[in-house]
A and B are shown apart, each in its own frame.
Chain A
Amino acid sequence: MKHVVIIGNGIAGVTAARHIRKKSDYHITIISSETKYFFSRTALMYVFMGHMKFEHTQPYENWFWKKNRIELVQAYVQKIDTTLKKLVLNNNTTITFDDLIIATGSTPNKFGWPGQNLKGVMGMYSKQDLDEINRYAKDCKRAVIVGGGLIGFEMAEMFASKNIPVTFLVRETSFWNKVLPAQESEMINKHIKEHHIDLRLNTNLIEILSDEHGRAKAIVTDKGETISCNLVGLTAGVSPNISFLKNSDIKTDKGVLVNRNLETNIPNIYAIGDCAEQQSVIGERRPIEAVWYTGRIMGETVARTICGIPTKYSPGHWFNSAKFFDIEYQTYGWITALPKENEARFYWEHKDGKKCLHFNFDKISRKFIGINTLGIRLRHQLFDRWLTEEKSIEYVLEHLKDANFDPEFYKQYEEEIITKFNSENGTTLTAKKKSWKRIFA
């Protein structure tokens, strides 16, 4: 029987294993060094904040793996021998495979800052990072977070929840404005301050200073300021975790290079999830997408290929979500920070400053291209369909009630939104009543 070995028990590897099991009887082994059982990385912050215990982050009960005949090995893969189809583990054992899936995820970036290896300086990616954060948060007087991405934001929220003062260094002039248009970004800036975070925009880290015990005691910024703190979170992005492949024949660039079937240059070796880098461009997508959903989609896809039905990796319309303290964010389709030449934008914001919708559409053809929403939930299924059917911005607005996904009895704003659009565009659209028929069409 074919032996499929998967390195990495994150969402990508585990999804692949589950789907291979559904379709086949192959012998499946997952090797991972971080934890024995799969857990949800995205929930690490909630464990620190006391919303959950670590065991709650595990999507499957421990008996699940045995029942589904998925063998778990907790070890670090040091080397891949592609000719003998053999893995060398750090516990001095070897494992042979017929098919191999590399799903080793990412590792936090460190840019060679002086002091980046001091005690009390950490990234936030793994379970081990969480343990470290727990240890150093205990006597933390002030925490400095370096890097204004989503993980940095989560870290800021974590410490704030424990009433630890936080300074948040962000290189950009406004939070996450490489991704978010100015209005959304500004809304988040305000919300960060509302939560008493000391937000420093347009500020870079120069170095981290050590106390006599080798623990961080302060940081120095490019503004010449020294901020004393005894915990530093480094969250300046992530890169594929592939250092163990250095001396193998598997072709890599920033990540493991794969074709549309998620195959590497070596037959029977595949790469999925954060660590995979697409050789050919897929739509507007970046070659490496370190998000949960793409990892899962790649897992679903590679499972089919391995089970004998070669299948192209075909992610559908882009979607994503996050939460900034109390403000939820969802996005469907594409809406970049700055409009492209052919694009027009329509922005509506609620007067409380915590809800907005930002539509992106084609100036000429009126085709709807994408949407950002803060503080209002939208129905994925409908936006996906509208994008596929290339509906016009007018159609989307008129049927917006269908797409509202807020809990029942929430105030809805479709009329207000459409009125604003009409007055800006000289149109006379009206909001159509919600229709289940259309929703389930």
Chain B
Amino acid sequence: MKAIKNIGYFLTFLGFAFFIGSVFTGTHKVTTATYENWIQSKNIKSEYFINHTQKAIVDQQMSTWELSQIILDQAKASNQYQKSQPKTDWSKIIHLKWSKTSKDFIYPLARASVIGWYKQHPTLWFLITFGFAILGGLMIFIPNYKLLGPAGIKNNGIFQHSATNKGIIGFITAFFFMAFYVLLYFFPNYIINPILSVNGINQFLSGNDAGQWFLYGVMYCSVMTVFAVRMFIKYRHNSYQLLRTTVVLFFQIAFGFLIPEILVAFNKPWFDFKNAWPLNYTFFFDYNINNLLNSGHLGIFMLVWGIALTVIIVPIMVYFYGKRWYCSWVCGCGGLAETLGDPYRQLSDKSLFSWKVERWLIHGVLVFATLMTALTLYVYFAHIESWKVIAFGISAYDVQTWYGFFIGSIFSGVIGTGFYPIMGNRVWCRFGCPLAAYMGFVQRFKSKFRITTNGGQCISCGNCSTYCEQGIDVRAYAQKGQNIVRSSCVGCGICSAVCPRGVLKLENGSDTGISRTQVNDILLGNDMDLLSMTKKNS
């Protein structure tokens, strides 16, 4: 068993080593046709740039670094040249910005011009990266079935291991997570070889070449699958966890990955039916609305569905089941947090201070998302071009860009996932997700969901609080005999699973009021006479 585990570690390591090793090592050869296509699609007007760059790159073999650098240098030189002209032609200026240039400008050319071994051997390349990592991961986790002993809570050593207690391994892991997101969001031109490892799958699914988001999708599903297997073994005694993990995995693979890709294969818009506004903040962006409006009946249905999801389905479901139906049964972000993130759940901060920060941040993001969307819709219906300045020198496009950059990319991705090994697995869900904030209101004030505290049985041990990924001090309620009704609870059920005294039960009661939130002065088990108010004669 131990041996299988060690081989698993080795294989995983190898898979990741190949994967990471191939980053930055792309080889490119730009043909004239590719080049011209690119120039056209990027709408480049500067002859200076077109001619110089063509000379420098077309029909020459070079690395991604060289290619990217040449394009950047030429763009800068071209801009300088244009500005040095007696009359600057602004349409010939190439706008450069670090967070956009690589991904929007350089990446398409780099992606189209890649050559080399990775491109020629897609299957083998897939097998020695994804194949090794997935197989290795399974070999690491499956032996736990025997190694951890009989089914039950086995959190042994979690706070004594570097990977799960903010040790050096934890920080290295965090670094890799963050680096991956930075490359993915801002510099996809450097991860073209990794992208090629899943090209075959994309070809098979929709006949298209894979891009960075397809790579991300495959990684997401693979990681979730491997770590779901880990969950299945770790919580094999707990039907709630088994069912929840199965469902959230299903929703990710089917709704978050396969269905959108299949839609694309049929020339329909890429659409994730479970992604509700305001988490899906681009839903009301003009290009999305127009895209849906131009996609026939299905497009209209998607538009109506998307609105109904936010306005009707989400609040009704939260009323009956709490926000857990979404956050830990359906949502993709939640799905990753509950699988890949599970080993890190204990790192969320439980202090009152962090609860204060949480409330400011998450509600701040909700306000930001709402204002941004309101502005977007305003310019849409008022037929104002989105790049037109509206007030204070700011356009709707600017606001969208800021939101996309700070919230959509940095917060939800780089920090949200990157910080798993440091701040726990729900950094985004707890501090950032505007949909969670919205559902939180419903859950807190009008829902049947509560975590019932079992009378006076709590021994204040603290397992529940420690393993609450949302940083809720569950014990603070349980030891007072009070139910846990908190807007941030995502209903993962782990507090209930780890409680050694059977104190906590997630349930949807019959009412939304008194049975949920009643507070007693003393706990069940104390029959002292509370009515006798006779004062001692002193």
**A-side interface residues toward B, CB under 8 Å?**
11, 22, 40, 42-43, 46, 49-53, 56-59, 61, 161-162, 191, 194-195, 292-293, 296-297, 300-301, 304-305, 308-317, 319, 321-323, 325-326, 328, 330, 377-381, 384, 405-411, 436-437, 440
Q: A50 — which chain B residues lie within 8 A by C-beta?
A: 155-161
| B532 close to A (CB within 8 Å) | yes
B contact patch SS = loop
A50-B159, A409-B239, A440-B510 given; 15 more Cβ-contact pairs under 8 Å: A40-B459, A40-B460, A56-B462, A57-B462, A304-B528, A319-B457, A325-B150, A326-B153, A328-B502, A379-B454, A379-B455, A380-B525, A406-B505, A410-B239, A437-B510
- Kindly list the 4 A-B residue pairs having the minimum CB-CB distance in the complex, ordered from nearest: A380-B455, A326-B152, A436-B510, A377-B502
Contact B536 A309 (CB under 8 A): yes
Contact yes or no, A384 B156, CB < 8 A: no
**A residues less than 8 Å from B507 (CB atoms):** 408
Identify 26 residue pairs between A and B in the complex whose beta-carbon atoms are under 8 Å apart, listed by A's number.
A11-B460, A40-B460, A49-B157, A50-B157, A56-B462, A59-B460, A59-B479, A61-B352, A161-B157, A297-B522, A301-B528, A308-B536, A309-B532, A311-B529, A316-B524, A316-B526, A319-B457, A319-B525, A325-B152, A377-B502, A377-B505, A384-B525, A407-B497, A408-B507, A440-B509, A440-B511
Residue of A nearest to B465 (CB): A56
Interface contact A407-B239, CB-CB below 8 Å = yes
Chain A residues with CB under 8 A of B535: 308-309
A326–B237 contact, CB under 8 A?
Answer: yes
Q: Which residue of A lies closest to B525 (CB)?
A: A316
Query: Bound complex: CA of A305 vs CA of B532, how far in Å?
Result: 11
Q: Is the pair B456, A380 in contact by a Cβ cutoff of 8 Å?
A: yes
Question: For the complex, what is the distance from the CA of A304 to the CA of B536, rounded to whole Å?
Answer: 10
Does the CB pair B238–A407 fall under 8 Å? yes
Q: Could you tell me if B502 and A51 are in contact, using CB atoms closer than 8 angstroms?
A: no
Q: Which of chain A's residues have a CB closer than 8 A to the CB of B511?
A: 436, 440
Across-interface contacts of B159 in A (CB, < 8 A): 50-53
A49 close to B156 (CB less than 8 A): yes
B489-538 CB contacts (< 8 Å) to partner A: 493, 496-498, 500-502, 505-507, 509-511, 515, 521-529, 532-536, 538
Residues of A within 8 A of B505 (CB): 377, 405-408
Count B-side interface residues using an 8 Å CB cutoff. Answer: 63
* Cα distance, A148 to B145, chains bound together (Å): 29
Task: Tell me the bound Cα distance from A309 to B521 in angstroms.
Answer: 15
- A328 contacts across to B, CB distance below 8 A: 500-502
Report B-chain residues with C-beta under 8 Å of the C-beta of A195.
149-150
The complex places the Cα of A276 from the Cα of B227 at a distance, in Å, of 51
With the chains together, A317 CA to B456 CA distance in Å? 11
Measured CA separation A296–B523 after assembly (Å): 9
CB distance from B516 to the nearest CB of A (A): 10
Q: Does B17 contact A (CB under 8 A)?
A: no
Which residue of chain A has the shortest Cβ distance to B526 in the bound complex? A297
Bound Cα distance A411, B529 (Å):
40
B243 within 8 Å of A by Cβ? yes
Are A326 and B150 in contact, with the CB atoms below 8 A?
Answer: yes
CB of B461 within 8 A of CB of A42, answer: yes
Specify which of A191, A325, A407, A437 is in contact with B496 (CB 8 Å cutoff): A407
| CB-based nearest B residue for A311 | B528
Decide yes or no: A316 and B527 within 8 Å by CB, A384-B455, A407-B506 being known contacts.
yes
User: Which residues of the partner chain B approach A436 to less than 8 Å between Cβ atoms?
Assistant: 509-511, 515
Interface centre among B155, B522, B532 (most CB of A within 10 A): B522
How far does the alpha carbon of A311 sit from the alpha carbon of B466 in the complex, in Å?
A: 36
Does B475 lie at the interface of the complex (its beta carbon under 8 Å from any beta carbon of A)? yes
Q: How far is the CA of A427 from the CA of B413 in the complex (A)?
A: 62
Bound form: Cα–Cα A333–B498 in Å = 25
Q: Which residue of A lies closest to B518 (CB)?
A: A440
Instruction: Given the known inter-chain contacts A49-B156, A321-B502, please indicate yes or no for A312 contacting B239, CB distance below 8 A.
Output: no
Contacts of B498 in A (CB 8 A): 51
The residues of A that contact B534 with a CB separation of less than 8 Å are: 309-310
Residue of chain A at shortest CB distance from B352: A61
Q: Mark B451-486, 1 if CB is under 8 A from A, else 0.
A: 010111101111101100000000110010000000
Residue B351 at the chain A interface, CB threshold 8 Å: yes
- Rounded to whole Å, the gap between the CB of A76 and the closest CB of chain B is 24
Find out whether the CB atom of A51 lies under 8 angstroms from the CB atom of B463: yes
CA distance A22 to B520 in the complex (A): 13
Task: Chain A residues near B524: list those with CB within 8 A.
Answer: 316, 380-381, 384
B-chain residues with CB within 8 Å of residue A57 when the two chains form the complex:
461-462
B117 CB to closest chain A CB, in angstroms? 45
Residue in chain B with minimal CB distance to A296: B523
Kindly report which residue of chain B lies nearest to residue A261, judged by CB atoms.
Answer: B536
Q: Which residue of B lies closest to A49 (CB)?
A: B156
Give Cα A330 to B454, complex, Å.
Answer: 11
Task: Please tell me if the beta carbons of B457 and A308 are within 8 angstroms of each other in the complex.
Answer: no
Chain B residues with Cβ below 8 Å from A381 are 454-455, 524
Question: Which residues of chain A are within 8 angstroms of B515 by Cβ–Cβ distance?
Answer: 436, 440
- Contact indicator A330/B502 (Cβ below 8 Å): yes
Nearest residue (CB) in A for B500 is A323
Q: Is the CB of A300 within 8 A of B151?
A: no
Interface string of B229-260 (1 = CB under 8 A from A): 00000000111100100000000000000000
- Nearest CB on B from A355, distance (A): 11
Q: Chain A residues near B509 (CB, 8 Å)?
A: 436, 440
* Nearest CB in chain B: distance from A349 CB, A: 17
Which of B158, B237, B466, B509 has the largest count of A CB atoms less than 10 A from its CB?
B466
C-alpha gap A197/B515 in the complex (Å): 44
Q: Report the bound CA distance from A325 to B148 in whole Å.
A: 12
The answer on a CB contact under 8 Å between A313 and B528 is yes
Residues on B with C-beta less than 8 A from A194 are 150
* Complex contact B455–A315 (CB within 8 A): no
Across the interface, do B501 and A409 meet the contact criterion of CB distance under 8 Å? no
B461: which of A43, A296, A309, A330 is its contact (CB, 8 Å)?
Answer: A43
